[in-house]
A = this chain, B = another copy of it.
Amino acid sequence: MENSEKKFADSENCPVRNVLDRFGDKWSTLVLLVLDDTKVLRFNEIHKMIDTISQKMLAVTLKSLEADGLVLRTQYPEIPPRVEYTLSERGASLIPHIKSLVQWANANFEVITQSRAAYKK
């Protein structure tokens, strides 16, 4: 009984689905890249670097990255509040894989843009 067609079926139990769903959101990978780039950042600093993200979405993105153990959140008991975000080791271990995607993106940006333009129909 050949069930290779079910390999990608349900996202609960499929690691591929489960994790791609995770990074297949609009902002997670970008936040990870920014944190890798600058190491320690506060909420508003990230918001400035990715200025098209809404505060709401930055908040939920950071929260789920924290829940997944990819990002560490340190809150200082000051007022106004100060919160710092960093990559965890686990988060850092993801970065090379994302960067390999990014390299491909840079290398293929032009041709893809051209294809898109030519496609129009």
Contacts and interface: CB of A to CB of B under 8 A. Distances in A.
Given A21-B26, A23-B24, A26-B24, A49 B116 contact: no
> What is the oligomeric copy number?
2
Contact of A101 (B7, B27, B49, B101): B101
Interface residues of A, number: 59
Residue in A6, A11, A45, A97 with the greatest tally of chain B CB atoms within 10 Å:
A97
Contacts of A97: 97, 100-101, 103-104
B69 A7 contact: no
Residue in A19, A68, A70, A94 whose Cβ sees the most chain B Cβ within 10 Å: A19
A9 interface: yes
Given A22-B112, A97-B103, 10 more contacts: A4-B38, A7-B37, A7-B49, A8-B33, A8-B50, A15-B102, A16-B102, A20-B105, A97-B100, A100-B100
6 contacts: A6-B49, A9-B51, A16-B105, A16-B106, A23-B24, A98-B101
